[in-house]
Amino acid sequence: MPIVLPRMHASQDLQYDYDCSSRPRSPAIILCQDCYPNSRYQMTLPMNMLIQAKTLPPRDQEAVMPANHSNHSGSNPTVSIIIPCRNELGHLQSTVDSMLAAGGLADTEIIVVDDGSEDGSAGFLTNPDSIYRDVKLIKTENLGAARTRNLGADYAFGDILVFCDAHIRVPPGWTDTLASAMASPEVSALCPAIASMDRPQDAGYGATWDSSLAFSWLPRPMGYGGGGHPVAVPIAPGGCLAVKREAFTHVGGFQHNFRVWGFDDQEFSMRLWLFGFEVYVHPDVQILHYFRPRHPYAVSYRHVDYNMLWMAFTHFNQERFAKTIALASARAGYLEILAEVTMAEAAWEQRRNYLTNRTHDDNWFMQRFGIPF
């Protein structure tokens, strides 16, 4: 029976931010910048300590850390929960409340990265005398989904990084269960089952791609009888994704060249597999996710297609890349996007690096999981 959850990456609310009436006669060649945009960000540490930080450098350079980052008092947490946020008023606080109520936080820290919210989403975290006093808050502007996650990881202490959406509910002891499963050497990344808040009986157990490279939820593994044994999946959805820091660092984190939103969790999961790390779902842990009818910030098909083409160019063979171009060609403006990707030196450098150093190729990945693309 097919999973009836909304797609984690639904596109019905995406808007064209260019003229769709005609296709351009020639592509505009724009070189992609292999760096974070010029922006400033702040970090609020526990007890309302505000740190002014410099512009974040590219991910392949040393990250700028607060002056007191190495002076963390007490033992380092085992788990760092990282919550990217943008215009999540109400949802973010409910998510943090759920995590605080779930327990199992003795060796866990919570980090919220507010990426330029305009609705005061994280205002409740600024009171040093509140129950949220130990939640770290980082403020930045318009880094996008992938780089916001990376920024949170740069400030995290945990050996296990758990990236969560700002609109979820978690069950009691969820971090303990995930961390216990990740003690197995083969489990490098792990996601829980994810169900809709209004239909908790319908859950997705990881995800895959269909013949059009579209995100598709997986059903509960056949024959699974419980017992805490994770099951391998091609894609761990970004709504809740745990990864060992060692694996995260080895593959370079989320794709820092991506724009705004789209394909960041899918590309990251595939890259883990290609570099020899394994991705699993834990069917015994289920979180509830609010599937938004639309994004609370501007996302266009240009962003999604750019990320899809960047992923395909840096990972796929020639035939599979051509198939991806054909998918993007259904929308006006794809030639400019294709030119931006294929003319970017950063994309060529990444492609050379990935193809040289990866353990498996894209054919292996598609065959391993029966993906018809």
Q: Copy the structure tokens of residue 3.
A: 């999973």
Position 36 scores a pLDDT of 30
Q: Where are the domains of the chain?
A: 41-289
Position 76 scores a pLDDT of 57
Query: What phi and psi values does residue 145 have, to the nearest 5 degrees?
Result: -60, -50
Which residues 6+ apart lie within 8 Å of 12 measured at CB? none
Residues of the chain with pLDDT below 50 are 1-2, 4, 7-74
Locus of tokens 């395909």: 312
Position 261 scores a pLDDT of 83
Fold type of domain 41-289: Spore Coat Polysaccharide Biosynthesis Protein SpsA; Chain A (3.90.550)
Which residues 6+ apart lie within 8 Å of 290 measured at CB? 91, 167, 168, 196, 197
Q: Which residues of 35-48 are buried (b: 16+ CB within 10 A; e: fewer)?
A: bbeeeebebbbeee
Position 44 scores a pLDDT of 43
Position 64 scores a pLDDT of 28
Which residues are bridge partners to 191 per DSSP? 281
Per-residue pLDDT tens over the stretch 286-343: 999 999 777 665 667 899 999 999 999 999 999 999 999 999 999 989 999 999 999 9
Position 298 scores a pLDDT of 63
Per-residue pLDDT tens over the stretch 50-63: 333 333 333 433 33
| pTM, 2 dp | 0.82
Q: CA–CA separation, 37 vs 31, rounded Å? A: 14
Give how far Cα 304 sits from Cα of 151, 256, 331, Å.
21, 14, 11
